[in-house]
């Protein structure tokens, strides 16, 4: 079954009436949710064990989250053959930077703030692997030779792992992410070229 999305007319929205209900401190936030289970806390490890290394070696797709620690945040998709993210040891990963649009948003952020987050996916698997750590930009030829997926990249990210854990399947199961019969009908979606052209025409130098 294909789903058809109908987009309602966009109306202006004001936060003025909702500001009195905003959560602004941790105590109020925790009152809204029950405490995490002991397992949800204890499953976090500070290295890459055999399970984490195997998951990464099977993953062809990872999301890279960065921030400049001030106002800019970014999340960037990174792909390659399974194993394209090289495991240097049980505390370090090497994420190759493959040719793209040369915006370098992630790299600019990392130059200012080294903390990053990674989310690894394996096709058909509803669990994901979350890895947090500190990243540095590497141009060492000997290290970059270890990257799979074609010619060695110009640069890569060496990530020192500070936290890793398997994330439960709930989000992808709710989305039915791997079930083609539930995917929305996209025939009405403009091509990427059309979207880019429209967005470029709206570019504001300011």
Tens digits of residue pLDDT in 157-204 = 999 999 999 999 999 999 999 999 999 999 999 999 999 999 999 988
Q: Which residues of the chain have pLDDT under 50?
A: none
Instruction: List the structure tokens of 10.
Output: 């966009």
Inside any domain, residue 13: no
Q: Round to whole Å and give the CA distance between 17 and 26.
A: 22
Any residues with CB less than 8 A from the CB of 106 and at least 6 apart, and which? Answer: 64, 66, 74, 76, 116, 157
pTM score of the predicted model: 0.89
Q: What is the 3-state secondary structure (H, E, C) of the chain?
A: CCECCCCCCCCCCCCCCCHHHCCCCHHHHHHHCCCCCHHHHHCCECCCCHHHHHHHHHCCEEEEEEECCCCCEEEEEEECCCCCCEEEECCEEEEECCCCCCCCHHHHHHHHCCEEEEEEECCCCCCEEEEEEEEEEECCHHHHCCCCCCCCCCCEEEEEEEEEEEECCHHHHHHCCCCHHHCECCCCCCCHHHHHHHHHHCCCCC
The CATH number of residue 160's host domain is 2.30.110.10
Domain that holds residue 171: 42-178
Nearest to 110 by CA among 66, 74, 76: 66
Yes or no: say if 80 and 98 are a contact pair by the CB < 8 Å rule. yes
Number of compact structural domains in the chain: 1
Query: How confident is the model at residue 70, as a pLDDT?
Result: 84
* Alpha-carbon gap, residue 76 to 106, rounded angstroms: 7
Q: Has residue 187 been placed in a domain?
A: no
User: The dihedral of CA 79, 80, 83, 86: what is its sign?
Assistant: negative
Is 18 contained in some domain? Answer: no
User: Is residue 203 one of the residues assigned to a domain?
Assistant: no
Question: CA-CA distance, 8 to 52, in Å (whole number)?
Answer: 43
């Amino acid at each position: 079954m294909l789903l058809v999305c109908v987009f309602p007319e966009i109306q202006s929205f004001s936060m003025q009436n909702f500001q009195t209900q905003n959560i602004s401190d941790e105590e109020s936030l925790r009152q809204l949710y029950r405490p995490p289970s002991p397992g949800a806390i204890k499953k976090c490890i500070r290295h890459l064990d055999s399970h984490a290394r195997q998951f990464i070696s099977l993953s062809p797709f990872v999301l890279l989250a960065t921030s400049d620690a001030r106002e800019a945040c970014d999340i960037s998709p990174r792909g390659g053959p399974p194993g394209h993210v090289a495991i240097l040891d049980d505390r370090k990963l090497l994420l190759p930077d493959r040719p793209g649009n040369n915006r370098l948003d992630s790299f600019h952020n990392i130059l200012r703030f080294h903390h990053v987050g990674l989310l690894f996916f394996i096709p058909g698997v509803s669990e994901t692997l979350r890895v947090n750590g500190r990243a540095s930009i590497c141009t060492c030829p000997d290290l970059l030779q270890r990257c799979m997926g074609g010619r060695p990249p110009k640069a890569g990210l060496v990530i020192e792992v500070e936290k890793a854990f398997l994330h439960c399947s709930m989000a992808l199961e709710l989305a039915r992410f791997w079930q083609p019969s539930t995917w929305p009908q996209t025939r009405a979606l403009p091509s990427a070229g059309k979207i880019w052209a429209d967005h470029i025409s709206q570019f504001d130098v300011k």
